[in-house]
Amino acid sequence: MDIFAELDWRGLVHQTTDPQNLRQWLSEGSKIVYAGFDPTSDGLHVGNFVPLMMLRRFQKAGHRPIVLAGGATGMIGDPSGKSEERNLLSAEQIEHNLEGITHELGQFLDFDGPQAARLVNNYNWMKEWDYLTFLRDIGKHFPVNVMLGKESVKARLEETEAGMSYTEFSYMLLQAYDFVHLRKTHGCGLQVGGSDQWGNITAGIELARRMGEGGLHGLTCPLLTKSDGTKMGKTEQGAIWLSPKKTSPYVFYQYWYNTEDADVDACLRMLTELSEKEILSLADERANAPQQRRSQQELASSLTRLVHGDEGLQKANKASEVLFGATIEQMSDADLTDIFADVPSQELARDQLANEGLSIIEALCQSGLAKSKSDARRTVDQGGAYVNNRRVEDQSRSLTQADLASETVMVLRSGKKRYALLKFV
RNA sequence: GGGGGGUUUCCCGAGCGGUCAAAGGGGUCAGACUGUAAAUCUGAUGGCAUAGCCUUCGCAGGUUCGAAUCCUGCACCCCCCA
């Protein structure tokens, strides 16, 4: 399989050091490819997805991936694509972040077999350097005028008033040296990354050449952006994370399911492992029957399965079904807790359900769905109140044992999507 | 220092001394429609024991049967002249 051709049709090739040679080089046999991830937060998010998948694709095509966790570079802060100097993360924070992301990185790659992936941390080799030696051995190879010409630096100096510290300015040296180091110790010949990494990657190649290691390659993929120009993976509630602890499989699934028609094709190509044929056929279906949302379904399913496994996908599916209208009854507490993991819940005394029961108005207030009783009444009046996904039309309705959806839980909803759980214990 | 204008419900903004919980717009919420989209349409949008009552119009007093509307003082904002 020609990996380069595949990356090409997927739209993953943004810039390369030399398309002809790179393609040739890749076809010669199993190569070592690396991508770096800085521990700027304690988990991976959708923004890390594309480079991760790149490595995965390389591995599947018979190459060996190296994942570099930036324990050292993370301490400095990459200025690429940042308009302002950032606050330094504390050493403990970085340690914590590294722990978080390293194990997540693992799940995308195969760490066994002949193409076993490797995980390295650049802190392990950077910590050996002392300042003077680094300046003499590495810094000497970096002409400042070239560094000033790099987009990451230029943008900061020319287009903003933010300026840049010597620390961030030096970031490039560290990442450049990583490449050289991996070349020497692992025989790594290609670095991949997002398009904002181009400057850092070429700096590495340049450094290697000056240090007597020629023939390195670089490849960047486009940043995944939506048709409106905003970044993929950001919502008003924050980033979409890969860890189920930070973003539930359901929210993850829904995020992709709601992808705009205009964006879904690029997502399918860049993020999934569906074949070109499948993707073209989805494009066809989308053109003929957009309301079926088959593309979105495939995208959401395939990514959820990849990140959260079959079980996670099932949960997300079940949750979607329930959250979008299926009536809720005869379920277990465990099921409901799972499905409504992201939904606020309140505990109430069980005896509130006895006798007359709890009025729907009161219940809406208690659950936080209504700001006041008037608000609750309005909601009911307007037909926006639901118990266990059944509409409640009568203000005087009261809730009793019979309205429990499971052993102890009742599911309230206001409007289309706002849910709350009441637990009666 | 002198003069003028302003401060209204989530935001903007209208508001003859009674018919003002306060126009209109935005936002938000709900409903219909729909593709879990966009657009559109309808309704709602201080609180409560909801045919009624209570609390709101910068703050504190006052006039009046009655004040967001008039008067006095205070605070903050804007403009003009020095």
Q: Provide the 8-state DSSP code for A398.
A: E
A64, with CB counted inside 10 A (0-12, 13-18, 19+), is buried
Instruction: Write the burial class of residue A214 (CB in 10 Å: 0-12 exposed, 13-18 middle, 19+ buried).
Output: exposed
Inter-residue contact A117 to A35 (CB < 8 Å):
no
* Contact flag, residue A383 CB and nucleic strand B, below 7 A: yes
Whether any strand B atom is under 7 angstroms from the Cβ of A290: the reply reads: yes
pLDDT tens digits along A101-154: 888 887 889 998 888 999 999 999 999 999 999 999 999 999 898 898 888 888
End-to-end CA distance of chain A: 59
d(CA A144, CA A157): 14
Cα distance between residue A79 and residue A151, in whole Å:
10
Q: Which residues contact A387 (CB under 8 A, 6 or more apart)?
A: A360, A363, A399, A403, A410, A411, A412, A413
What's the Å distance between residue A104 CA and nucleotide B2 C1'? 71
Query: What pLDDT, on the 0 to 100 scale, is given for residue A137?
Result: 92
Nucleotide with minimal C1' distance from the CA of A290 is: B35
Q: Which residues 235 to 254 of A reach strand B, CB within 7 A? A: 254
Rounded to an integer, the average pLDDT of A264-269 is: 94
A320 touches strand B (CB under 7 A): yes
- Tell me the two tokens of residue A76: 């400095």
pLDDT tens digit sequence for A64-84: 999 999 999 988 889 887 877
Q: Give me the DSSP letters along A261-325.
A: HHHHHHHHHHH----HHHHHHHHHHHHH-GGG-HHHHHHHHHHHHHHHHHHHHHHHHHHHHHHTT
> In 3D, which of A316, A319, A324, A315 has the Cα closest to residue A389?
A324
* DSSP string of A16-44, one letter each residue: ES-HHHHHHHHHTS--EEEEEE--SSSS-
Rounded distance between C-alpha atoms, residue A383 and residue A231, angstroms = 37
Query: How confident is the model at residue A149, as a pLDDT?
Result: 87
pTM surpassing 0.90? no
Residue A226: is it exposed, middle or buried by C-beta count within 10 angstroms (0-12/13-18/19+)? middle
A188 dihedral zone (left: phi>0; alpha: psi -120 to 50; beta):
beta
User: Residue A417: which nucleotide is closest by CA–C1'?
Assistant: B36
Of A26-30, A194-198, A229-233, A336-340, minimum mean pLDDT range: A229-233
Chain A residues 150 to 179 whose Cβ lies within 7 Å of strand B are: none
CA of A55: how far to CAs of A110, A219, A338, in Å?
10, 12, 32
- Contacts of A322 by beta carbon, 8 Å cutoff, 6+ apart: A328, A339, A389
Nearest to A207 by CA among A137, A271, A256: A137
Q: Nearest nucleotide, C1' to the C-alpha of A324?
A: B36
pLDDT tens digits along A226-253: 887 778 887 777 788 999 888 889 999 9
A261 touches strand B (CB under 7 A): yes
pLDDT tens, position by position, A386-406: 999 999 989 899 999 999 999
* A101: CB partners within 8 A, 6+ apart: A37, A39, A41, A42, A43, A44, A69
Distance A410 CA to B40 C1' (A): 35
A324 contact to strand B (CB, 7 A limit): yes
Question: Residue A388: exposed, middle, or buried by beta-carbon count in 10 A (0-12, 13-18, 19+)?
Answer: buried
How far apart, in whole angstroms, are the C-alpha atoms of residue A183 and residue A338?
A: 46
Q: What is the pLDDT of residue A161?
A: 66
Is the pLDDT at A85 greater than 90? The verdict is no
Which residue would you say has higher pLDDT here, A102 or A203? A203
Pair A256, A303: CB distance under 8 Å: yes
ipTM: 0.84
Task: Classify burial at A304, counting beta carbons within 10 Å of its beta carbon; exposed 0-12, middle 13-18, buried 19 or more.
Answer: buried
Whether the pLDDT of residue A160 is over 80: the answer is no
Q: Is the CB of A291 under 7 A from strand B?
A: yes
Name the residues in A360-379 having a C-beta closer than 7 Å to nucleic acid strand B. Answer: 365, 371-375, 377-379
Strands A238-239 and A345-348: unpaired
User: What's the CA A335/C1' B77 distance, rounded, in angstroms?
Assistant: 57
Chain B positions with any atom < 7 A from a protein CB: 29-32, 34-37, 43-50
| Nucleic strand B near CB of residue A415 (< 7 Å) | yes
